[in-house]
Structure 1
Amino acid sequence: MSPKRTVATWTTAVLAAAALAGCADSQRDDDGGGEGGGSEDAGTFIFGAAGAPEMFDPYYATDGETFRITRQMFEGLLGIEPGSAEVVPELATEWTPNDEGTEWTFTLRDDVTFHDGEPFDAEAVCYNFERMFDQNEAGRTAGEYWGYVMGAYADDPENSLYQSCEATDEFEAVVSISRPTSGFPTMLTLESLSMQSPKAMEDGDANGIAAEGEGFSFPEYADNPVGTGPFVFGAYDEANGEITLERNDDYWGEAAKTSELVFRVIPDESTRRQELEAGSINGYDLPNPVDWAGLEDEGNSVEVRDPFNILYLGLNPEANPQLKDLKVRQAIYHALNRDQLVQTQLPEGAAVATQFMPDTVSGYNTSLEPFPYDPDEAKRLLAEAGAEGMTLEFAYPTEVSRPYMPDPEKIYEALRTDLEAVGIKVKVATASWNGGYLDNVSGEPGKYDAYILGWTGDYDAAYNFIGTFFGNLKDNDFGTDVMPWGKQLADDLQAADAIVDDDERAAAFEEINAQIMEEYLPGLPISHSPPALVVGPGVDGVIPSPLTAEEFDTVTVGGE
């Protein structure tokens, strides 16, 4: 790696960040909360959520329904420009690396307080990093996002990307990492790495997480979170599935346009539409694609996001050793009529996947063709592998819609029909999204032979897709640790991620994508889908995000 090249690459990023900082400051400070920008009663925005939250501490959260709520209350050092995947300043105004890219200096805003009145400063930043780094055994399992991006915790510092944080001034923090990576500091836009009040975490025993059955029990703090964002936590009526957030009138930036934000849990999509039509909610996510035209005809606004996701069929060789055979995995892939699935189950604009990332991400391999639908070849491969009549315990989630699978049961039925058509016996398994499904998929080993799941990118980087899936050999949902090529794949991904030059890094990821699809096939990419959300008449200010990371502080209701 050339130091000169390293400096040039990162200097460009830093100069861009500084320019963005001025823009962000200008936008945030206009009509700020301190100037009475949101002191009047501006109504309530009620959003129909597809699933219940796990809890409200973003560090331990793993699913979109929880992040949809915590995103309104918490902020990170870096943020994402609404409506894009572009990194912009948030609680940090500038970030600059040393020549090696292993030490990053963050200049912080000096006008921010947490919801409990405690100051946001460099000491708070370092407290947050050390809290995330130093977790008990249950916390290390639950805090999946830290594990994905940082690799390890305080009990294994040699394998951790994060090394230390030092408050070098009241509003200056220096974070040291073990190696250069394309993901840092962009990963600091992740909801899980948001800044939280040190005092509130201490008072609420925030790290007092414990294993409980197949899941976890969370401490008091997880029900009373404290961030810096435009909304503060109000209440959670779990019996009625309703979460209430209140406007933060002391917010450092422009105050939220509504005085209250309510999330009403309505698992069934058709019921969400009925509630919208009745005026009981003002919007909901993931309307059924067949309803888009009808919703528009009724005066609603359907906001379609650009696709930035992947739906896949996960295969678990630890649960079913027959899946260790490449011929068996290829046979299953040949059995799936993905063109038909895309045409009948997904919205206009959806596409059959050729790899585990969308084509907008650098590192996408344009030479890869869709794996062909060929039932006869599937049968031949099964016979050759001695797997004729094999049984798969195949699972799908209930009580949820996701950007990449608007109706999980219908997608499951289509795939099940294809598998049975080539002689595979399917044993159905199911669980609710946050009531066991995610835990059953990501257990050690996972509970199911095969399952449908997906991923919406957190930020625009190849490693955020395929690195998340296969870069951590010890902890991934595909059981690659039992495969002879699993370690090589993980090592190759980490080596590619450490390449500083953009073009060289993209070429390395293109090659890895080809290997994954042609030599390894650890799972089966199905499709990419442009998800939508819908809001009712009189609702303005919603900015659809390709990351499905909408912030609702800009929303107005009823013309307010």
Structure 2
Amino acid sequence: VTFHDGEPFNAEAVCFNFDRWYNFEGSFQNPAATYYWQTVFGGFAETDPDSGAPEDSLFKSCEATSESEVTINLTKPSASFLPAMALTNFTMASPAALEKYNADEGRVNAEGIFNASGTYGTEHPTGTGPFMFSEWIRGDRLVMERNPDYWGDAPGNIGTLIFRPTDPAAQLQALQTGEINGYDLVSPEDFETIEGDDQFQLLTRPAFNIGYVGINQAVKPLQDIEVRKALAHAIDRQEVVDGFYGGQGVVAKEFMPPEVFGYADDVAEYAYDPEMSKQILTDAGYDLPVKIDFAYPTDVSRPYMPDPQANFEAMVADLNEAGFDVQTKSAIWSPDYLDNVDNGRYGLYLLGWTGDFGDPDNFIGTFFQSQQKAWGFENQEIFDKLDEAEVETSQERRVELYEEANRLIMDFLPGIPYVHTEPALAFTANVQGYQTSPVSLEPFSLVTIEGGS
């Protein structure tokens, strides 16, 4: 196996990648730059206390014990470490390319937003897969070419992959005119049109996500559990799901889907009741309306929120009717909005999560196992419960621990989960072999375009 630049993929290359991540310094310790390292492994070899990264690290060292074998040493047991290795964020990269194209150069601007300044990630990403990077013109297209030296099976016939951002309102038309072969995140309102035309096909992914309203308790008065309860009772989640998900959504009551082990059926629930919201606030001594800020992302469609603005406007109307005075905010999804969320610049914010691997540690562990600026709270009971569940090696006991954790979380109410969805994709009828995945790991190397070459 070789990297796309011809360099060998071996144990030394694996350890180079792990050691690189572990030894990140400066701006690369910003949560926006190394979010997944921090959620899976924690801190770094020398963690800057002002970076926002966790102090302790799960990773200890990597040893190349033979040409094709590595030993990863951890600082404590972890039942979720192996499934976490399926994350694309831990894809192996060519050590030579990383160094040649300055992959470790970056900076945080005056607004606290991280930007890479090297060209590795934007012009020269170099892996081992069936397709190789060709070009990326931001806002226009990403082009990948078939790897003629790919080591594995690639029975499909795609030679060139072109990914283009399109206006969600224009995606169906682009499919109908033959401009594109397929698109992701089909708007629910287009399902009937696609399914009713034999020139097209509609595929769905299994529900493996959560849409939620995040609550940053560092922003007053959100540290008050009574305010958070009032917020939860104020939003008509069923109306949002019925109105904007085309029958592909179900109302969520906790921060992970029922398909994941450790889901608890008996968590605290907060039924829609705007009058109860007002009563809770007045009983807690607040004068109505209570002022809060609430943000949503622009220029994005996600499986758990196909139309963020529509969800947001419906929720704002609910909140304003239930004793709140909502100050609205918005920002472009990447990098501004995500960076603002990760660094605690919003009070309430619209967000969600598609699971990366099938373990509750990737849902509630990612959100609530340690103190994070996005959530703005410290609850040692929840932290300890999730720590215990992560290191437990008995599957039966892990199920019990995560059920207990879900109950604790929904009693504490760090946010408001509201939807699980089955995201949809549309293709022309001649696209064959596309295999949907709950975590969107869908290999184009298996896809055949009938009548194409």
Query: What is the CA–CA distance in structure 2 between the aligned matches of 1:129 and 1:538, rounded to whole Å?
Result: 41
By how many angstroms is 1:402 displaced? 0.4
Q: Is the aligned partner of 1:291 residue 2:190?
A: yes
Superposition misfits of 4+ residues, deviation over 6 angstroms: none
By how many angstroms is 1:435 displaced? 4.3
**2:401 corresponding residue in structure 1:** 508
2:144 partner SS: strand
Query: What is the CA–CA distance in structure 2 between the aligned matches of 1:552 and 1:131, rounded to whole Å?
Result: 29
Any idea what the Cα deviations from partners look like across 1:428-476, whole Å, max 9, x if unmatched?
1111111411111111xx2211111000101111111001001121x35
The code of the aligned residue for 1:120 comes to F
**1:63 corresponding residue in structure 2:** none
**2:448 corresponding residue in structure 1:** 556
By how many angstroms is 1:237 displaced? 2.3
Structure 1 residues not aligned, in runs of 5+: 1-111
Q: Of the candidates 400, 404, 407, which is equivalent to residue 300 of structure 2?
A: 400
**1:8 corresponding residue in structure 2:** none
**What pairs up with 1:275-290 in 2 under 5 angstroms?**
275-290=174-189
Aligned CA-pair RMSD? 1.5
Any idea what the Cα deviations from partners look like across 1:248-295, whole Å, max 9, x if unmatched?
0100012352110001111x2111122111111111111111211111
**2:22 corresponding residue in structure 1:** 133
Any idea what the Cα deviations from partners look like across 1:208-263, whole Å, max 9, x if unmatched?
1221233223112112110000110001123x611110000100012352110001
Query: What is the CA–CA distance in structure 1 between the aligned matches of 2:58 and 2:335, rounded to whole Å?
Result: 32
Q: Of the candidates 220, 232, 237, which is equivalent to residue 137 of structure 2?
A: 237
Query: What is the CA–CA distance in structure 2 between the aligned matches of 1:363 and 1:476, rounded to whole Å?
Result: 26
Q: Does structure 1 conserve the Cα–Cα contact (< 8 Å) formed by 2:255 and 2:363?
A: yes
**2:376 corresponding residue in structure 1:** 479
**1:527 corresponding residue in structure 2:** 419
**2:50 corresponding residue in structure 1:** none
**Under a length normalisation based on structure 1, what TM-score does the superposition of the two structures give?**
0.76
Q: Of the candidates 212, 215, 226, which is equivalent to residue 109 of structure 2?
A: 212
2:81 partner SS: coil
Query: What is the CA–CA distance in structure 1 between the aligned matches of 2:345 and 2:294, rounded to whole Å?
Result: 10
**What pairs up with 1:38-437 in 2 under 5 angstroms?**
112-141=1-30, 142-156=33-47, 159-213=56-110, 214-218=112-116, 219-223=118-122, 224-238=124-138, 241-255=140-154, 256-266=156-166, 268-298=167-197, 299-318=199-218, 320-368=219-267, 370-387=269-286, 388-437=288-337
Aligned length in residues: 438
By how many angstroms is 1:554 displaced? 1.5
Fraction of identical pairs, as percent: 40
Any idea what the Cα deviations from partners look like across 1:51-86, whole Å, max 9, x if unmatched?
xxxxxxxxxxxxxxxxxxxxxxxxxxxxxxxxxxxx
Bigger mean CA offset, 490-499 vs 241-250: 490-499
**Under a length normalisation based on structure 2, what TM-score does the superposition of the two structures give?**
0.94
Any idea what the Cα deviations from partners look like across 1:168-224, whole Å, max 9, x if unmatched?
111111111111111121111111111000111111121112212332231121121
By how many angstroms is 1:349 displaced? 4.1
Query: What is the CA–CA distance in structure 2 between the aligned matches of 1:248 and 1:529, rounded to whole Å?
Result: 34
The code of the aligned residue for 2:133 comes to F
Q: Does structure 1 conserve the Cα–Cα contact (< 8 Å) formed by 2:201 and 2:427?
A: yes
Alpha carbons of structure 1 residues 476 and 308: separation in structure 2 relative to 1, 3 Å: farther
1:228 partner SS: coil
1:323 partner SS: coil
**1:492 corresponding residue in structure 2:** 385
The code of the aligned residue for 2:445 comes to D
1:159 partner SS: coil
The code of the aligned residue for 1:465 comes to F
1:324 partner SS: coil
2:383 partner SS: helix
Q: Does structure 2 conserve the Cα–Cα contact (< 8 Å) formed by 1:151 and 1:472?
A: no
Bigger mean CA offset, 227-236 vs 418-427: 418-427
Alpha carbons of structure 1 residues 289 and 120: separation in structure 2 relative to 1, 3 Å: same
1:125 partner SS: helix
Structure 2 residues not aligned, in runs of 5+: 48-53
Q: Does structure 1 conserve the Cα–Cα contact (< 8 Å) formed by 2:83 and 2:359?
A: no
2:419 partner SS: strand
Query: What is the CA–CA distance in structure 1 between the aligned matches of 2:373 and 2:433, rounded to whole Å?
Result: 38
By how many angstroms is 1:491 displaced? 2.2
